[in-house]
């Protein structure tokens, strides 16, 4: 079974690459570019002077993920520590943030903050906050009731219970929120940069669209795919396994 899964994981992408090559041979370069041309542009966006756009997008996304996690977690903790705010947070604020489309925030970001880093970071943060809130809220709901009851026998302080019991137990959910936010953040960031940035992969894609440079459009997609895959494999997977070992459960 393990060998079959490994073989499928290898043969699947190879088959997709072969189909791409075949489609490129039978299509206009403006429609389906050659894989080799896309590979060259991908290398440019990752390792040459043009990589500044890629890493600018990365910094913006990391900043937005941190802000979204802090704000989303803060709102959830507020709802738990001050029960009177629970309906406001979960039934008013969360549905509002969850329903506004990314394109709407992107346009408003440009109107409010102009073209630059602030607009992109604010837009991405606003889109990611609901993802963090939902993960943290589910984590709060699934905390070990027996462990919390034992903690209450030692202290009645909600603050102490929050930071000494609940926060450590919530770490797998924090990782899940960060993991989801990082991948979604790339999708949102490119939209925001498309409309309101002087640098970043979204700007690269917009310029490529205007110049009918299909290889560069494909390359920006491949760059995002490579970065997300590498971070998943070498950052999030080891962290998930670490939390799973500590908790004695499954991976986050």
- Contacts of 166 by beta carbon, 8 Å cutoff, 6+ apart: 140, 143, 148
User: Is residue 241 scored above 90 in pLDDT?
Assistant: no
Rounded average pLDDT over 22-48: 92
Q: Report yes or no: 57 and 202 within 8 Å, Cβ to Cβ.
A: yes
Q: Rounded to an integer, what distance in angstroms lies between the CA atom of residue 104 and that of residue 110?
A: 10
Rounded average pLDDT over 162-191: 86
Counting residues of the chain whose pLDDT is more than 70, the rounded percentage is: 87
Superfamily (CATH) of domain 35-247? MetI-like (1.10.3720.10)
pLDDT of residue 72: 94
Confidence at 251, pLDDT banded by 50, 70, 90: very low
**Where is pLDDT greater, at 28 or 251?**
28
Burial of 228 from C-beta contacts in 10 A (0-12 / 13-18 / 19+)? middle
Q: Rounded to an integer, what distance in angstroms lies between the CA atom of residue 101 and that of residue 106?
A: 9
pLDDT of residue 123: 93
Q: Rounded to an integer, what distance in angstroms lies between the CA atom of residue 171 and that of residue 203?
A: 35
User: Is residue 81 scored above 50 in pLDDT?
Assistant: yes
User: Is residue 215 scored above 90 in pLDDT?
Assistant: yes
Q: Report yes or no: 181 and 69 within 8 Å, Cβ to Cβ.
A: yes
Residue 86, helix vs strand vs coil = helix
User: Is residue 79 scored above 80 in pLDDT?
Assistant: yes
Q: Report yes or no: 117 and 60 within 8 Å, Cβ to Cβ.
A: yes
**Where is pLDDT greater, at 153 or 128?**
128
pLDDT of residue 222: 95
User: Is residue 247 scored above 90 in pLDDT?
Assistant: no
Confidence at 139, pLDDT banded by 50, 70, 90: confident
pLDDT of residue 144: 58
User: Is residue 2 scored above 50 in pLDDT?
Assistant: yes
pLDDT of residue 250: 45
**Torsion-angle region of residue 147: left (phi > 0), alpha (psi -120 to 50) or beta?**
alpha
Domain ranges of the chain: 35-247
Q: Rounded to an integer, what distance in angstroms lies between the CA atom of residue 168 and that of residue 149?
A: 16
């Amino acid at each position: 079974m393990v060998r079959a899964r490994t073989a499928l994981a290898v043969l699947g992408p190879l088959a997709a690459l072969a189909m791409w090559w075949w489609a490129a041979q039978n299509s206009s370069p403006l429609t389906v570019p050659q894989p080799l041309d896309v590979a060259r542009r991908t290398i440019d966006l990752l390792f040459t002077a043009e990589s500044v756009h890629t890493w600018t997008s990365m910094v913006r996304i990391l900043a937005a993920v941190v802000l979204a996690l802090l704000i989303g977690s803060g709102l959830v903790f507020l709802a738990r520590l001050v029960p009177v705010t629970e309906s406001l947070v979960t039934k008013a604020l969360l549905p509002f943030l969850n329903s506004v489309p990314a394109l709407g925030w992107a346009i408003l970001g440009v109107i409010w903050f102009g073209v630059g880093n602030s607009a992109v970071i604010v837009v991405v943060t606003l889109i990611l906050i609901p993802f963090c809130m939902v993960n943290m809220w589910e984590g709060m709901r699934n905390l070990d009731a027996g462990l919390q009851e034992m903690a209450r026998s030692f202290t009645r302080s909600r603050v102490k219970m929050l930071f000494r019991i609940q926060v450590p137990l919530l770490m797998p959910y924090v990782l899940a929120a960060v993991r989801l936010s990082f991948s979604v953040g790339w999708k949102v960031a490119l939209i925001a940069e498309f409309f309101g940035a002087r640098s970043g992969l979204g700007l690269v894609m917009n310029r490529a669209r205007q110049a009918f440079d299909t290889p560069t459009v494909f390359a920006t997609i491949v760059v995002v795919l490579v970065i997300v895959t590498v971070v998943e494999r070498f950052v999030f997977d080891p962290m998930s396994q670490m939390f799973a070992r500590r908790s004695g459960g499954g991976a986050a």
